[in-house]
Amino acid sequence: MSKLIEPFQIDIPQSDLDDLIARLTHTRWPDQMRDADWRQGIPLDRVKDLAEYWRTEYDWRAAEERLNRFPQFTTEIDGQRIHFLNVRSSRQDALPLLITHGYPSSFVEFEKLIPDLLERGFHVVIPSLPGFGFSAPVGEPGWAMGRTARAWVELMARLGYEHYGVHGGDVGSAISGTVSGLDGEHVAGVHIVTDPYTAAASATFVPWLADKLNPEDAIDKLALQRMEDFRRNDSGYLAIQNTRPQTIGYGLTDSPAMQLAWIAESFDSWTSLPIDTDQLLTNISVYWFTGTGVSAARFLYEQAHSQDWGAPPSVPQGYSVFGADATVRRLIDPAEGTHWVEHDRGRHFPAMEAPEQLAEDLSVFFDGLR
C-alpha cells in the first residue's frame, strides 16, 4: 500500500460547468398540489429559486479559488483514495484537530470555521468521507464508520501528528468517537456537536439509547415523541439510502435538480439560523461535479448493514448542543463530568450557522488538553 501524500487542487473542466447549465436550463419540473407544504418534501418554488440562482448567478470558479487556498492532498489508505485538507496554524503550540463531516455535507461545511480555528491555535485536518466528493470512487463494500475511523487513525499517523483532538457532527460524531476509542494513546479529547434532531434520530436507530427512557417521565415522554416524529415525518431519505441507494443514484447522478433538492431539503429542515446560499450551493456542486450522490448514499447503506462500530471513546469528551432542550442530554447521557455547552440558537450545521460560537467551544474544551 502506497503511503504517498500528493498535493491536490480542485479544477473542474469548463465542459462540466457548461453541462450543468444546460441540464438546469432543460429541467423537467414536477407538479405540486395546491397549498402544499413541507409534509411531502421540499416545495417546488424553493427548488426552482435555488436552481435559477445556481444556473444564472452562482460563481463556481470563485468558490473553487477560495477552496484552493486551503492546502489539499490525497493519499491511499486501505485501498481507498482519501482527499483531505491539512491547514497549519502559525502558532507554535498549535494542536492538530481532526474534523469529520456528515451527510449530506462535505469539507465545504467548515470553510468559514477554519480561519478562526487557525487563529485559536489549531492545525486543521478535514478528510472527505470515502465516497464523498474527491474521496471517490469507492472500489469495494465495507466503508462504514469503523473502517473510516481506522483510516483516519492511519492518516493522522501518516501526517506525523502524535497528539491531536477530534471533532465531528452527524455521522462524523460517531466516527470521531470511534477514532478516540481506537487511538486513545494519541487523541487528546473528542468534541461532538449535536441538536435535538440528531439526538432523536440517533436514539431511533440505536436501541440502547431509547431503552433507558421512562415513558411516564415528562422529559423522557417528549424525547420519545421526538423519536416518533422523526420516524413518521423525517426518516424517508434515510430509509431509501439504507435500503436502495443505487436506485436513487440514477436521479442524483443524472439530474442536478434532483441532487439540489435532495441536499437542500436537509439543510433547510435541519437549520434554524440563516446559512450562506453560495456556501450551500458549493457543497451541492462538489457532490454534482464529482458524481458522488450515489456513493455518499451508499455510505449510509454500508453503515446500516454493518456491525463494525469500532471502539467507544476512551478520552475526555466535550459536547456543544445547538438548539438545546432538556431531551438532548437524556438521550445522549454522557459520562459524569463531561464538558457540556448549550446554545439556544443554531441546529445541525453550526459550522455554517454559528461558526464563532463553535470555534469558541472548541477552543475552551481543547485548551485544557494541549
For residue 369, what are the CA distances in angstroms to 99, 159, 163? 17, 20, 10
Residue 310, C-alpha cell as written in the block: 469500532
Residue 68, C-alpha cell as written in the block: 484552493
| 90: helix, strand or coil | coil
Query: Among 170, 183, 278, 361, which one carries the catalytic annotation?
Result: 170
348 is catalytic: yes
Diameter of the chain by CA atoms? 61
Dist CA 9 CA 244 (whole Å): 33
Which candidate, 175, 169, 163, places its Cα nearest to that of 306? 175
Do 358 and 193 meet the contact criterion of CB atoms below 8 Å apart? yes
Q: 433538492: which residue's cell?
A: 261
Q: Which long-range contacts (CB under 8 A, 24 or more apart) does 18-22 make?
A: 20/54, 20/55, 20/256, 20/285, 20/288, 20/289, 21/55
Dist CA 91 CA 123 (whole Å): 9
| 46: helix, strand or coil | helix
Q: 486551503: which residue's cell?
A: 70
Query: Among 164, 234, 348, 361, which one carries the catalytic annotation?
Result: 348
339 is catalytic: no
Dist CA 176 CA 98 (whole Å): 8
Name residues whose C-beta falls within 8 Å of residue 238's C-beta, 6 or more positions apart in sequence.
201, 300
Bond preceding residue 115 cis, omega within 30 of 0: no
Which candidate, 106, 108, 154, places its Cα nearest to that of 132? 106
26 is catalytic: no
Query: Among 301, 319, 339, 343, which one carries the catalytic annotation?
Result: 301
**Helix extents (H) in the chain:** 14-25, 44-56, 60-67, 114-119, 145-158, 171-182, 196-205, 207-211, 218-229, 236-243, 245-254, 256-269, 277-290, 293-304, 326-332, 350-353, 355-367
Count Cβ neighbours within 10 Å for each residue of 309-318 and write b for 16 or more, e otherwise.
bbeebebbbb
Residue numbers annotated as active site: 170, 301, 348
